[in-house]
Each structure stands twice: as structure tokens, then as C-alpha cells.
Homo-oligomer: A and B are copies of this chain.
């Protein structure tokens, strides 16, 4: 405890820097006097910290306000956070496409790139496709690779803390792949790997349907459904990173698989054949009886899966994403059935981010990492 009053000078400097950055980031620009008032730090401390931040490239003197200059003769110098001092990438690696989002240090997206990829592509081919997309994205945006501070990547499967895919049946060659290590070869900054439904949950909380909820379940609906959950605003990964892997739920009742449920023929659909799925939905909307029955069966299955998650976790809100999100009429039956089964039914909403949810969540995870390093005042004081 002695450290609390005495203090480690370098730790204190880091904390003070974080406090000042935090304050500057919350505003367009501020004078030293304003920073002093907001942070509670002394004027000399603020001066020293701001000087250090300017040297580090994270803060710059802002252009003087014209009106104030005229009024006061020589106005006080103003400073602003340089969000352009670094960049972040959010990557999605899926069965049919790879996608990349580029942002500045404020998380403002400044570019996006996506490429189709064959569902049978090998891991090497898929990663090569991603590398190409990233290279094009950086070139178009005029951002140097060295400016990247963190990269987030999201993919189907169970992902270990070290970025290894422990189990990923949707993508060829994915199980056992050291995805974090492979991606790290292309970047000098930290690379964080996350399950795709988990990333999407983070994204909907950040800038999607669930910005006002801290306890949410995101369901990546599809023939191989998955789910991600935030508890108290934080990702719940589970003990082994497998939380929400509800793809096996339908096995419990010895029921048929979603591929069979949604088929209008005697043959099940291919688990990754989104076009065939879209066709069934379109036919159902067109009034085809067989397709409508198939869609009805599929919705019942989705309701079952979501209800099991809601009963186990009791979220405030359930967000439905994946391709089923485009499906008319999925919300009403979901709400009706959840009201029937749950003691306290959660709100149900469709994903606002749609196709962009997974890459957006990966970007947010990269941003979280950088914020922890640059701005984490609370973390810095709590950890001793």
C-alpha cells in the first residue's frame, strides 16, 4: 500500500499521460488551462505531459480559433488528440468472403475492402486473399503498414487465447490453424483473434442495435448457427472459448438438422450454401407452400436455439444477425415464443450492422487493445 502515497514516478507519468489523452480525446481541442481544470493535475504537470505527448506524435497544436484571436490579440494555444497518429484493422475471415475495415485511433472507419473467396479454398489461399484485400485497402487509403497499432480478426470456430483455432469446421484447414501467428507475419503490431459471433456481439454493442444494453446475446443465424454474449458489457467467451456454440443444440432432441429443415426437396441443403437458402426464403415470400413450410420449420428451430440461450443467460436483448436477419417475419415469432418460455423475456432486435458486423467487432477489439495501452486510467491505477 505504501506505493499509493509514495508512488512509482514512471507509473504516475503514464497515468497522467493517459488522463490528459483521455480528456483531449473527449473534446475537439483544449487549452492547457482547460486541461488543468478537467484533469485536476497541476499546470506544470500538464505542460510536461502535453510536451511528451507532442513528441510521441499523439497530440498536436490545433489551429487557433480566428474569432478568439481577433478578440484577445494573442489567444491561448489549443491542443488536440491526433486520431490520425495510428490506425487499426478489423478483419473478417468467413467461408465465402474476407473483409477488412480500416480506422483511425478514434475508431472512425476510413476505408473498407471485401473479396469473395471459395468455400473450398485452403487456409493458405484464404489468407492470401485476405492479404491482398488488406494491401489494397492500405494503398487506397494512403496508410502505411507501420502506422497500424493493432489488428483484430474474427472467424468461425473456437479460438484459443493465443489465436489458435481449436475447432473450425466451416472452413477447410481451419481446425488447429495458428491463425494469430499466421496473421502476425504480415503485421508488426499486436493481432487479436476472436470468434465471429463474439465479434459481432461486440459490434452491435458498439454501433449497432444494442448500444444501450450491457447484457446481450448476438445470434449469428444460419445453417451453422453461433452466438456471442456480452455480460456487463464484456465478452463472455466461456472457459474454453466455446460459449454460445449452439450449433449442436438441435442434436439434443434428436431433431433433424437445419439443412434438412430448410430443404424443399428430399435432399438437405449444403450447410454453407447461402444462395440456396436465399432461394427458399424468396420462394416462401412468393407464396410457394413447400418453401413456406420449410421457412416455418427453420424459424421454429431458431426460436428453440435462442430460447435456450435466453434461459441460460437472461440477457437484456437478443440481436439476430447472419443471413436470417434479412428474413421477414423472424422477429414476431421469436418475440411471441420467448414471451412464452422465458420468465423475463429479452428484447429482440435485428442486427443493424448486417454484413459488416463481424469485421466491425474485430475492429472494436483492436481499438479496445489500443485504448487499454494508451488511455486506460482505471486499469493503470487498479493494477498494482
Contact = CB atoms under 8 A, between A and B. Distances in A.
A4 B15 CA distance: 11
Interface in A1-39: 1-5, 7, 12, 15-16, 19, 39
B314 A245 contact: yes
Contacts of A229: 312
Contact of A307 (B1, B227, B252, B382): B252
Interface in A336-384: 340-344, 346, 377-378, 381-382, 384
A299 interface: no
A105 B259 CA distance: 58
A309 B312 CA distance: 6
A331 interface: no
B1 A312 contact: no
Given A1-B16, A1-B19, A231-B231, 9 more contacts: A1-B381, A158-B344, A238-B313, A240-B316, A243-B312, A243-B314, A248-B341, A248-B343, A253-B253
Interface of A: 1-5, 7, 12, 15-16, 19, 39-41, 158, 166-167, 215, 227, 229, 231, 236-246, 248-249, 251-253, 255, 304, 307-309, 311-316, 340-344, 346, 377-378, 381-382, 384
25 contacts: A1-B19, A2-B40, A2-B41, A4-B12, A4-B15, A5-B7, A167-B343, A215-B239, A227-B312, A236-B313, A239-B346, A241-B314, A242-B311, A242-B342, A243-B312, A243-B314, A245-B342, A246-B311, A248-B343, A251-B340, A252-B308, A253-B253, A308-B312, A312-B312, A382-B382
